[in-house]
């Protein structure tokens, strides 16, 4: 398995120049290459210096464009994401974990893949904070942003959500993990986005966010450092008997190379922007 890393502050992450769509475009491109057999199944660890990625359904709210512009005016980057789910804040304290896998024969069991990623995340937290990891539960947290059946929480406060994106020959399962900082502040950011995006209209379908339902792992007794959690992910994968080849290893061994500044990634970002922009 290959591992690609673009954590905030790294030279690899800086290639993206803060563009919210670059990480998603990178995964679109990598997913195609996994499906074509050019690269083995992969894990992608990344973060963004500061932004809000909204879902397709969110983008159709009556004043979504205005709400996104308000965030941008405050220095918070925005983008419409094409994977499933609703609005999520992304910053240096949120580690995104994606598994990019080739499609096998037969019907995909997305519940199995969600459970796999959920277990990896719990195991990753457990390497540094076993007592907190033992209290992690899966199940929708009412009032959280981007709620779903595979929310991960501790003591009723959500710190992780999971979504999926499929292509013809491969797919990826993606999780955002709130590691350090205030979960409630992030929840308030998303609550305010929806408040402006709905323009006072009634009968609309969007998450009714209660900020107190969100927590960072550090607040909940788990790792409070993105670096510590990312190291836990590497250890959790390796503990399953899987060798992790870094991007540098892969380039040396096979000649395969892909980065945020790759022309194919930039072209994919342009396509996503044109397809999903307001």
* Residues assigned a catalytic role: 146
> Which tokens sit at 15?
């290639």
> Using CA atoms, how far apart are residues 166 and 61, in angstroms rounded to an integer?
25
Q: How many other β-carbons are positioned within 10 Å of the β-carbon of residue 14?
A: 14
> Which tokens sit at 58?
């969110």
Q: Diameter of the chain by CA atoms?
A: 57
> Which tokens sit at 230?
């990312």
> Using CA atoms, how far apart are residues 162 and 73, in angstroms rounded to an integer?
29
> Using CA atoms, how far apart are residues 150 and 144, in angstroms rounded to an integer?
12
Contacts of 236 (CB under 8 A, 6+ apart): 120, 121, 123, 124, 127
Instruction: Write the DSSP symbol of residue 135.
Output: T
């Amino acid at each position: 398995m290959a591992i690609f890393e673009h954590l905030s502050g790294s030279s690899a992450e800086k290639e993206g120049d803060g563009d919210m769509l670059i990480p998603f475009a990178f995964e679109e491109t990598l997913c195609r290459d996994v499906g074509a057999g050019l690269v083995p199944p992969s894990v992608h660890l990344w973060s963004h210096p500061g932004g809000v990625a909204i879902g397709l359904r969110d983008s159709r709210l009556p004043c979504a464009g205005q709400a996104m512009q308000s965030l941008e005016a405050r220095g918070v980057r925005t983008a419409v994401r094409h994977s499933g789910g609703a609005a999520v804040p992304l910053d240096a304290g949120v580690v995104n974990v994606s598994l990019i896998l080739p499609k096998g024969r037969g019907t995909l069991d997305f519940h199995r893949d969600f459970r796999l990623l959920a277990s990896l995340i719990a195991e990753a937290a457990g390497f540094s904070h076993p007592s907190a990891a033992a209290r992690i539960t899966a199940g929708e947290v009412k009032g959280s942003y981007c709620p779903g059946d595979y929310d991960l929480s501790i003591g009723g406060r959500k710190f992780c959500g999971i979504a999926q994106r499929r292509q013809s020959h491969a797919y990826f399962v993606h999780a955002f993990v709130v590691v350090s900082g205030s979960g409630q502040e992030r929840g308030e950011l998303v609550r305010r986005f929806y408040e402006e995006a709905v323009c006072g209209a009634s009968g609309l379908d969007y998450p009714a966010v209660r900020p107190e339902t969100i927590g960072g792992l550090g607040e909940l007794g788990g790792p409070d450092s993105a670096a510590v959690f990312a190291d836990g992910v590497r250890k959790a994968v390796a503990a399953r008997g899987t060798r992790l080849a870094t991007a540098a290893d892969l380039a040396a061994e096979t000649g395969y190379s892909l980065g945020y500044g790759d022309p194919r990634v930039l072209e994919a970002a342009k396509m996503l922007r044109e397809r999903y922009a307001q």
